Amino acid sequence: MRILHCSDFHGYTEWFNWLAESSADYDLVCLTGDHLDLLNLNWINSQLSTVKATLGRVAVPLALCSGNNDSFSGPPAPANLQHATWLTELRRPGLWVDGDGFRRAVLVVGSICESDW
């Protein structure tokens, strides 16, 4: 099984594009936090749209978890930045976000091994 694990993209469109284009070479992509750059809330809606659209192009199962740069509380932040709830808008079959679980069966030397991940 080939797993691509990345983190700390901080809103860099080029890195998300690379991820979407490279994903087909892997069985699972794990993107672990700090997807956004919260230093400038003036362009957060544009950034969210770009990140969501690009992650929608990932061609294999995708596991996402939030980081400290994916959640913001209080004004002037949009409500979907509270507790990184914007990630739940991405849910689809084969895409897991904070709090989700999934099962995978793995073939190990001729026998099936099931485990919770």
Can you say how many angstroms the Cα of residue 38 is from the centroid of all Cα atoms in its chain? 16
The confidence score (pLDDT) of residue 104 equals: 60
Which residues of the chain have a pLDDT value below 50? 107, 111, 117
Q: Is the peptide bond before 61 cis (omega within 30 degrees of 0)?
A: no
Whole-angstrom Cα distance, residue 89 to residue 112? 33
- Ramachandran sector of residue 62 (left: φ over 0; alpha: ψ -120 to 50; beta: rest): beta
The confidence score (pLDDT) of residue 103 equals: 66
- What's the CATH fold of domain 3-116? Purple Acid Phosphatase; chain A, domain 2 (3.60.21)
Domains of the chain, residue spans: 3-116
Whole-angstrom Cα distance, residue 112 to residue 47? 42
The confidence score (pLDDT) of residue 13 equals: 94
The confidence score (pLDDT) of residue 116 equals: 54
The confidence score (pLDDT) of residue 107 equals: 47
